[in-house]
Amino acid sequence: MQEVIERHSLHSEINKPNPSKQLQLESTNYDKLHKKVVDKTLELRQLKGEDLQGLGIQQLQKLEEMVERGSTRVLKEKDERIAKDISTLKRKGFQLREENRQLKQRLENQQRQVSESLIICSSSDTPQDHNSSDAPLKLGLSLFM
């Protein structure tokens, strides 16, 4: 029985993760990531035109090319968006002009109907109807029909 317990203890110690190795691995990963962050931060600052004093001519030229490529992409994207906005505004302008034309046409039709109704009302009235108190009522009703 004692022998089984010892083997079990020995086996569990072997399979037990070594915390110091795990910690070293995490520390190494952290160091690598930290160095990447520092390098990328410096690169970003240099792209902004800061911290350039330690760079040589070739490095400055490389940086200039990177900035020019980035600038070209930014200008291209900006131009595409402006063109898209112009297209959208033209389409909206066309729709508004068309809607305006339809509204004018409806207004003209309504005005024509009102005029026709007034003409019909005034021609169907007899002279005694002009003196009648119902004449304004007839005119008012024809406007709403």
Query: For 103-117, how does the pLDDT look when each residue is reduced to its tens digit (9 = 90+)?
Result: 999 999 999 998 888
CA nearest to 52, candidates 73, 37, 67: 67
**Cα–Cα distance between 125 and 62 in angstroms, integer?**
94
On the question of pLDDT at 140 being above 80, the answer is: no
For residue 90, what pLDDT is reported?
97
Quote the pTM value: 0.51
Nearest CA to 143 out of 103, 113, 99, 104 is that of 113
pLDDT in tens, 46-105: 989 998 988 899 999 999 999 999 999 999 999 999 999 999 999 999 999 999 999 999
Q: What does the domain layout of the chain look like in residue ranges?
A: 1-51
Q: Look at residue 69 in the predicted model and tell me its pLDDT.
A: 94
Cβ distance 135 to 129 under 8 Å?
yes
| Pairwise CA distance, residues 99 & 107, whole Å | 12
Q: Is 57 exposed, middle or buried (0-12, 13-18, 19+ CB in 10 A)?
A: exposed
Residue partners of 109: CB distance under 8 A and separation at least 6: none
